[in-house]
Amino acid sequence: EQAIEMMSYLISIYPDSEFHYYYLGTLFQKSENFDAAKSNFNKALEINPEYEAAKQALVKLNKAEILTN
């Protein structure tokens, strides 16, 4: 919770940082808020379509979602 708040604050200061959106996505993923995780991974990719970590995180999240449905 505190880490999510801190990352959200950093995004408010650095809104064009794909890293911060990616990291926020990983925090949401760990707290099992998968919709918010996806949203943040996608935002990271909007900023930098070549950001490999966000691409991989989104693929893993989508695969996990398919397996659980």
- With a cut of 90, say whether residue 54 has pLDDT above it: yes
Burial of 54 (0-12, 13-18, 19+ CB in 10 A): buried
pLDDT digits (tens, 9 = 90+) for 17-42: 999 999 999 999 999 999 999 999 99
* Four-point Cα dihedral 31, 47, 12, 42, nearest 10: -20
Whether this prediction's pTM lies above 0.85 is answered by yes
Task: Give the containing element (helix H, strand E) for 5.
Answer: helix 2-13
CA 25-30-31 angle, to 5 degrees, is 95
Average pLDDT, the chain: 95
In the chain, the amino acid numbered 16 is D
